[in-house]
Structure 1
Amino acid sequence: MGELAPPDAHGPVVGRVLGTADATPLQYWVAVAPGAYLQLDDVVVTTRELPPTGGEQPGPVAIAGVVTQVRARHEGAVFDSDVFAIADGTLPAQVQEAAEITTTRVDPEVYVPPQPGAVVRRAEGATRAAALYFDRMERTVPIGLGRDGAPVFLNADFLDGSRGAHVSISGISGVATKTSFATWLLYSVFRSGVLGGAGETANTRALIFNVKGEDLLFLDHPNTRLDAATEKAYSRLGLDAGPFPDVRVFAPPRPGDLTGSPDVASRLTGVDSFYWTVADFCADRLLPYVFADADDDRQQYTMVVHSVTAYLHRHAQPADGGVVLDGKRVNSYSDLVDLISERLADDETRGEWAGTAVGLGTVNAFLRRLVASAKDLSRLVRGDLRGSAPHEINTAESAQVTVVDLHNLPDRAQRFVVGVTLRSEFERKEKAGTARPLLFVVLDELNKYAPREGTSPIKEVLLDIAERGRSLGVVLIGAQQTASEVERRIVANSAIRVVGRLDPAEASRPEYGFLPPAQRARALIAKPGTMFVAQPELPVPLVVEFPFPAWATRPAEAGAAPSATLRSLVQSSDPFAVVGAGSRAAPPGGSLPDDDIPF
């Protein structure tokens, strides 16, 4: 890491290593020089000369770190009330600021403490990039600006599965901007060209589940609130500001609508319906996804779930969207529920459908749950839309970004759609047997689909993605208000962890132990757009501010939709060719405009 030496290549002097506090190779304090200042997250560097060994004079050891705490005090004061006398000038004292530095990098790797009194300089340019390991990142994704106004990067190797995968984003709903950061991360990945040439970028997909309002239905519309200052912020990160150019939106059919029109209010064009035929429901064994705990062995009724699922798979015969089962035509999910209820209530057919070892009480427990699901799933499992082909969510045949709208669905129906869709996508990747094309899955409210306690078919799919998705090219970007309530194995497999504004009770949980104490306290007051990002190569999470979205985040911000000509061109081999190739981010340590851009 030669970029940290020689000392005269560093930035301005900001202080000296403090002599009244212990200095260790991993942490030390700096007395801030008069006329200078250090704030949290600043990057600094100091050096230490080593004595000769074996007749050779070793070079200086450079020790770089990040400011993790800052304090100021009166030196010479004894009592608390002395502050008034000092302010009046009747008691001599001096104000002294000191900053705690957490070491990020040592070059060469000789772990010795810095000497008290050693000069400490602000790290800038290539020195800053080396201190934060940006110089060792072969492929970088810009994720925002640091407190010093310089770009902050993510190592793409820990995002696309090369060395790690998956992202966990936590924070208070409505304040932590979890979904905004997830979409910004996708935008930066696609626009920066980090995934290779145009062909590879075009074949990288994203699947986004929209669970709150219709805010994510306008990703392909420019944001009318975009101004020149925001465009400059994007430029500083090496990106063009604009909407996602290749987006396809799916929504559930309207209840009771025999035409299958999508149930959306604000976006009237460019939306497709999604649903499953009754024949698909039986043939693909989808019944377990109706129940939240169908894989929980502690629940005896789950035996009935799997027995009925197997019976439907064996005996249901497709018939124009519906099925013929036991000689009866079934054209809807409600009809299917009625038929199952009838067969399980009959003593002669109950054993064939549910198994001979199952008691009547267990069967009734299954039926109560099944009958309750009819209202929620009737518009998703259809046999009455004979005039139109079923709309299957298949990212391989969709746009670069596929948005699945769930906000109008009840909780049970949302779970069904998420579980079945993820299972289908994961099975396609397994059959393909290759990690490319890469598929990013953005799922909010992860604690609802993969809770820490219990088990379900949806949770098992998400666990499979977390543990095997890296090798198959499936990357989970999960967002939740409380990481402490998400399955531990999913959080543990996330190479990138992001935290926004936190609830005080949640911030005290051990899941946030990777945050230094000062950052954990700051997370309680973090403003929207400020995120704490931890990645494997850095011992300290970096605080970043990401720019205001250049795409519409709600109907009121949506500009004109892209034309058909633009869309057809965008769906060529280079999805960003029309909107602009997107200038590559400045190489770590390279020069970027340093004017102050507000976010």
Structure 2
Amino acid sequence: MSVQVGRVVLSRDKPASADSFWCTIENQSYIPEVGSYLVCEASFSGQACRLLCVIEDVEYSADVTSAAVYYGAMMPPSPPPTSPVTIKMAKVRVVASEMEVYTPPEAGSLMRTLNQGDAELLARTIPQRNRILIGFARGSFIPVYMHSEYLLGEQAAHANISGKTGLATKTSYALFLAYNILAWAKANDENVKVVMLNVKGGDLMRLHKSSEKWENIFNNVGKWSKMAGISSNDVKGLLEGWKAALDKIDPCEFNRNVKYFTYQGDSFDPFNDKYTNVVYFSYGLADITTEELIAALYRPDEEIQERQINAIYTYMSEAGELRGQLSFDLLIEDLKKYSTYTPDKMSQQVKAKLFVKLIDWHYLTMGALFRRVTGFLARSTKIVKRDRPNGNPIKFDSLDTNKINVIQIYGLSDQEQRLVVNALLREIREKLEGSKERVKVVVFVDELNKYAPKRYSPIKEQLLEIASRGRYIGLSLVGAQQFASDIDSEIYGNTSLKVVGQSDDSEVSSEIYRFLGELRKRATRLRKGQLIIHHPMLFAPIIVEFPPPPHVISLVA
């Protein structure tokens, strides 16, 4: 049930535009909060039109010219002789309109709170078949949808989530998106592979521990809410709204058949819980490209070592042909010999042609390259197979369709992580480019700033390719990081769904957050489970809420 709040006002100091205007707050029981929703009952050419608005600013003033009126006989505790009239006003921004009319409402138009009858305003232009749930309107449990073509299709693609570590709930929201994408795929007979990289402890390695019954999760909300410091009624309302929005699809079902890809020795190995849908991956030198080797050897913040990189390209192209398949041990053996710069000490296995190619580089270059590869192998003992060409790399066909595939990279060195991420993205991209099947792939990459910083990064070129052209082959990137200002502007600019959790004031003041408008200040005070989102079908950013993941609630028991 909605409540009348006030009316639209228009004056010289409070002008109205098609995008934003001011309204009075006449209902004394209503507390106007920045980020809350209001509906304007406007009329254009005699035709009623609802405008969905979000409060951007609240202003209280009084009909007095000086604060001295509050001081009776110069004594602060004394009440003023006459109580000043408080004027409450709110500045609102239009988020959605019932009609395709770009003009401000008339002065005096009624303003009221949101109700369930206004739910269609947020999804009016999205056909039922294309609706993917992305959250619930703050304080109303009304579902907010995004058009599938803008998240997974050719119109646009990709999502980005930023905010403080531990407070912005970036991984939880990415998981919420994953469930809803899979629910959309099931309801519409689509094929989607969801791939999520686990970079923080056991964040995503415990999905299989979720209760299989929705009732058990719902009954455990009280314990979780007490621990999290969030109202249990709010959480229950969000869970009920989630279940209703997905209709006959149970979100818990997507945790029953999660597929894990991890490495031998992982302390979070689900197989320790007798969960069997686990694959162990590893990589030999023949499993990766030259670019992936370079990405593993060099940090993004390092100065580019062109001579070493050129030597690697020459070796990998020539030695592969002359020796057949290569291994890391053979690479080390050859580099050690090349660094001596003495042809008569070369192994008979290494043809003179290759040595002549590499002799163009100074032996100090080869020595430095030898030390770099040796250091990489010393820190890459968990997934690298040194003594044979091939390991057991993650293949596209091994990724389950219409299920969540979790890739464990936590516990690996930074170099190993770069190798896995680069090789995985290349494998997915190449298979999609050559595939005739109708399958979409969504890849969640946390700590995106490590792979796509503003500066040079060996992996960034591939991420740029995915960001700009991935949508044409059905590949969508969901990136997350603490600071969006740290990642490449082209990758962020190609994102159709921008999501911001609780962030520092110094961060949201960056130019990259300009799209937040007046909600920049609100971003510093978001709680867990609250996010500001913006996508092409909304006129302005809005605040949404989402429920905690089912497995998180289950694990509290």
Equivalent residues in 2 for 1:184-583 (5 A)? 184-193=176-185, 196-197=188-189, 200=190, 203-222=191-210, 226-228=217-219, 230=235, 233-237=238-242, 238=244, 239=246, 240-242=250-252, 244-254=255-265, 264=268, 268=272, 269=274, 270=276, 271-281=278-288, 286-292=292-298, 299-318=306-325, 333-334=328-329, 336-348=331-343, 352-353=354-355, 355-382=358-385, 390-399=391-400, 400-433=403-436, 436-456=438-458, 458-517=459-518, 519-552=519-552, 557=555
Q: Distance in 2 between matches of 1:286 and 1:89?
A: 74
Q: Secondary structure in 2 aligned to 1:427? A: helix
Q: Distance in 1 between matches of 2:521 and 2:127?
A: 30
- Identify if the C-alpha distance between structure 1 residues 298 and 281 changes in structure 2 by more than 3 Å, giving closer, same or farther: closer
Gaps of 5+ in 1: 1-9, 51-57, 255-261, 324-329, 560-599
Shift of 1:358: 2.2
Shift of 1:367: 2.6
- Identify if the C-alpha distance between structure 1 residues 302 and 81 changes in structure 2 by more than 3 Å, giving closer, same or farther: farther
Q: Distance in 2 between matches of 1:548 and 1:503?
A: 23
Q: Distance in 1 between matches of 2:307 and 2:156?
A: 38
Contact 1:76/1:92 (CA < 8 Å) preserved in 2?
no
Question: In the TM superposition, what whole-angstrom CA distance separates every residue of 1:184-229 from its partner, at most 9, and x where no partner exists?
Answer: 11012212457612xx2xx311111111112211212215993335
Equivalent residues in 2 for 1:103-142 (5 A)? 103-106=94-97, 108-130=99-121, 132-138=122-128, 139-142=130-133
- Identify if the C-alpha distance between structure 1 residues 532 and 178 changes in structure 2 by more than 3 Å, giving closer, same or farther: same
Shift of 1:263: 5.4
Q: Secondary structure in 1 aligned to 2:67? A: coil
Contact 1:45/1:123 (CA < 8 Å) preserved in 2?
no
Shift of 1:344: 3.8
Q: Distance in 1 between matches of 2:28 and 2:71?
A: 23
Q: Distance in 1 between matches of 2:59 and 2:17?
A: 19
Q: Distance in 2 between matches of 1:431 and 1:49?
A: 52
Gaps of 5+ in 2: 222-234, 347-351
Shift of 1:341: 2.1
Contact 2:50/2:98 (CA < 8 Å) preserved in 1?
yes
Amino acid at match of 1:147: R
Shift of 1:395: 4.1
Per the alignment, residue 349 of structure 2 pairs with none
Q: Distance in 2 between matches of 1:215 and 1:335?
A: 38
Bigger shift: 289-298 or 22-31?
Answer: 289-298
Amino acid at match of 1:169: I
Q: Secondary structure in 2 aligned to 1:460? A: helix
Contact 1:46/1:64 (CA < 8 Å) preserved in 2?
no
Per the alignment, residue 229 of structure 2 pairs with none
- Identify if the C-alpha distance between structure 1 residues 111 and 428 changes in structure 2 by more than 3 Å, giving closer, same or farther: closer
- Identify if the C-alpha distance between structure 1 residues 215 and 65 changes in structure 2 by more than 3 Å, giving closer, same or farther: closer
Contact 2:8/2:106 (CA < 8 Å) preserved in 1?
yes
Q: Secondary structure in 1 aligned to 2:261? A: strand
Question: In the TM superposition, what whole-angstrom CA distance separates every residue of 1:517-544 from its partner, at most 9, and x where no partner exists?
Answer: 2x21111121111111111111211211
Shift of 1:452: 0.8
Per the alignment, residue 154 of structure 1 pairs with 146
Q: Distance in 2 between matches of 1:195 and 1:469?
A: 24
Q: Secondary structure in 2 aligned to 1:96? A: strand
Shift of 1:84: 5.5
Per the alignment, residue 590 of structure 1 pairs with none
Per the alignment, residue 169 of structure 1 pairs with 161
Q: Distance in 1 between matches of 2:23 and 2:269?
A: 58
Question: In the TM superposition, what whole-angstrom CA distance separates every residue of 1:110-145 from its partner, at most 9, and x where no partner exists?
Answer: 433333233223343444522x34443442122222
1:96 counterpart (84, 87, 100)? 87
Amino acid at match of 1:346: Y
Bigger shift: 359-368 or 285-294?
Answer: 285-294
Question: In the TM superposition, what whole-angstrom CA distance separates every residue of 1:299-319 from its partner, at most 9, and x where no partner exists?
Answer: 33211121122133213335x
Q: Distance in 2 between matches of 1:557 and 1:524?
A: 29
Q: Distance in 1 between matches of 2:321 and 2:98?
A: 66
Amino acid at match of 1:526: L
Q: Distance in 2 between matches of 1:341 and 1:263?
A: 35
Task: Give percent identity, aligned residues only.
Answer: 25
Q: Distance in 2 between matches of 1:195 and 1:429?
A: 23
Question: In the TM superposition, what whole-angstrom CA distance separates every residue of 1:452-487 from its partner, at most 9, and x where no partner exists?
Answer: 11131x212211111111011111000011111111
Q: Distance in 2 between matches of 1:217 and 1:63?
A: 44
- Equivalent residue pairs, number: 510
Matching of residue 29 in structure 1 with residue 14 in structure 2: no
Q: Secondary structure in 1 aligned to 2:256? A: coil
Q: Secondary structure in 2 aligned to 1:88? A: coil
Q: Give the TM-score normalised by structure 2.
A: 0.83
Amino acid at match of 1:500: G
More helix by share: 2
Q: Secondary structure in 1 aligned to 2:208? A: coil
Q: Distance in 2 between matches of 1:178 and 1:488?
A: 20
Question: In the TM superposition, what whole-angstrom CA distance separates every residue of 1:157-204 from its partner, at most 9, and x where no partner exists?
Answer: 21112421100111111111111110111012212457612xx2xx31
Q: Distance in 2 between matches of 1:76 and 1:231?
A: 44
Shift of 1:61: 5.8
Contact 1:288/1:309 (CA < 8 Å) preserved in 2?
no
- Identify if the C-alpha distance between structure 1 residues 540 and 473 changes in structure 2 by more than 3 Å, giving closer, same or farther: same
Q: Distance in 1 between matches of 2:467 and 2:101?
A: 37
Q: Distance in 2 between matches of 1:82 and 1:140?
A: 56
- Identify if the C-alpha distance between structure 1 residues 223 and 529 changes in structure 2 by more than 3 Å, giving closer, same or farther: farther
Shift of 1:63: 4.3
Amino acid at match of 1:244: N
Matching of residue 76 in structure 1 with residue 76 in structure 2: no
Q: Distance in 2 between matches of 1:335 and 1:281?
A: 15
- Identify if the C-alpha distance between structure 1 residues 549 and 526 changes in structure 2 by more than 3 Å, giving closer, same or farther: same
Amino acid at match of 1:482: F
Contact 1:156/1:194 (CA < 8 Å) preserved in 2?
no
Q: Distance in 2 between matches of 1:109 and 1:548?
A: 36
Per the alignment, residue 564 of structure 1 pairs with none
1:46 counterpart (24, 41, 46)? 41
- Identify if the C-alpha distance between structure 1 residues 110 and 470 changes in structure 2 by more than 3 Å, giving closer, same or farther: closer
- Identify if the C-alpha distance between structure 1 residues 287 and 316 changes in structure 2 by more than 3 Å, giving closer, same or farther: farther
Q: Secondary structure in 2 aligned to 1:92? A: coil
